[in-house]
């Protein structure tokens, strides 16, 4: 072989190597943008795409409520929280009185956990879905950490996984959360899963933050679907824990890193609660009546919260900027 031919062959081999590397980079970028991941190191059950139940009615309701990017707002409701003058009524009132939040009611789907809650929803709201759970009655108030409470929380996680599988991203909100501003501008655009906190320690990527499952924004992709399956299956490893406690235990698992899931924790300055205040009413988006046990206590503090918000909104702009009004809560929930 002549020296000239040898040089040409080496150049050809280098060119092919370069093209192959470029193709691999482009493939990886495409794979990431589609929300998928390499399944070689992921348990097979996390890649199962089968749906657990008939979804035709649910798909129709989600489609009717969806924003242009296939995003919906979801909350769950049982009879105990649904009656006139109860928590659900105050929840809706918060949307009506919030700054730019009334329009978001068009995208809210209320997931009723019992027949009476469903009937009540149909009277006051236009997007209602009856989530039937065979052999379980969710109509009564479910006290924190009781068996009934645990069943309700895990049924919720299972349902949210189905929503993701149907291709819908969602903001999940407990009904004891008041929406005072549109939260979407405060969300991280590059996160798959972002969640509010009972305690926020200053950095959105700090895994020591204490998440609260009552408010989260989740984008539908293969990573989040696998994550919710893993989260739901982890209840068997921690049988006496609710979803929030289990999330705290699994949030740093190597398997989640292998999925490529990007988690962000939401600052309580914008997404506050009774555990840790959002102190500046000029920037608050949501306030959660967390760290509070008992529906009557929650109701009294939610009413007081609405009064504080109304007082703030009635101020002229210069006095709003001086932050002369702050929350009087927790009061009954101390």
Q: What is the pLDDT of residues 143-171, one digit of tens each?
A: 445 566 777 788 899 999 999 999 999 99
Distance CA 143, CA 149 (A): 6
| Annotated domain spans of the chain | 53-272
| b/e sequence 71-103, b meaning 16+ C-beta within 10 Å | bbbbbbbbbbbbeeebbbbbbbebbebbeebee
pLDDT, position 277: 87
pLDDT tens, residue by residue, 198-217:
999 999 999 999 999 999 99
Distance CA 119, CA 267 (A): 36
142 pLDDT tier (thresholds 50, 70, 90) = very low
Report the predicted TM-score, pTM, of the whole model to 2 decimal places: 0.84
Question: Which stretch of 5-19, 125-139, 237-251 has the lowest confidence by average pLDDT?
Answer: 5-19
The two beta strands, 271-273 and 286-288, are: parallel
Q: Which residue has the higher pLDDT, 36 or 230?
A: 230
Distance CA 9, CA 306 (A): 76
Residue 7 has pLDDT above 90, yes or no: no
Q: Using alpha carbons, select from 254, 256, 265 the residue that is nearest to residue 217.
A: 265
Average pLDDT over residues 310-322: 93
Structure-token pair, residue 288 = 């959660």
Class (C level, CATH) for 53-272: alpha beta
Residue 323 has pLDDT above 70, yes or no: yes
Distance CA 192, CA 164 (A): 12
Average pLDDT value for the chain: 85
């Amino acid at each position: 072989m002549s020296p000239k031919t040898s040089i040409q062959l080496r150049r050809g081999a280098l060119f092919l190597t370069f093209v192959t590397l470029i193709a691999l980079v482009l493939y990886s970028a495409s794979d990431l943008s589609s929300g998928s991941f390499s399944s070689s190191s992921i348990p097979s059950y996390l890649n199962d795409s089968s749906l657990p139940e008939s979804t035709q009615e649910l798909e129709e309701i989600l489609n009717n409520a969806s924003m242009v990017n296939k995003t919906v707002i979801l909350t769950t409701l049982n009879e105990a929280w649904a009656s006139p003058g109860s928590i659900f009524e105050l929840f809706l009132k918060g949307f009506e009185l919030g700054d730019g939040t009334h329009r978001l009611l068009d995208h809210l789907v209320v997931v009723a956990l019992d027949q009476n809650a469903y009937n009540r929803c149909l009277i006051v709201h236009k997007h209602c879905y009856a989530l039937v759970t065979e052999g379980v009655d969710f109509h009564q108030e479910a006290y924190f950490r009781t068996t009934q409470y645990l069943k309700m929380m895990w049924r919720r996680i299972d349902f949210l996984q189905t929503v993701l599988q149907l291709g819908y991203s969602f903001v999940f909100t407990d009904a004891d959360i008041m929406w005072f501003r549109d939260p979407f501008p405060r969300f991280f655009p590059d996160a798959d899963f972002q969640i509010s906190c009972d305690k926020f320690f200053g950095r959105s990527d700090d895994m020591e933050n204490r998440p609260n499952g009552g408010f989260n924004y989740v984008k539908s992709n293969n990573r989040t679907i696998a994550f919710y399956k893993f989260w739901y299956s982890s209840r068997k490893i921690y049988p006496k824990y609710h979803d929030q406690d289990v999330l705290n235990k699994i949030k740093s698992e190597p398997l989640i890193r292998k999925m490529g899931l990007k988690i962000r924790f939401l600052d309580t300055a914008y997404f506050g609660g009774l555990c840790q205040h959002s102190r500046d009413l000029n920037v608050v988006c949501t306030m959660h009546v967390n760290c509070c046990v008992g529906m009557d206590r929650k109701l009294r503090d939610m009413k007081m919260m609405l009064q504080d918000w109304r007082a703030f909104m009635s101020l002229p702009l210069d006095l709003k900027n001086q932050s002369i009004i702050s929350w009087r809560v927790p009061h009954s929930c101390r």
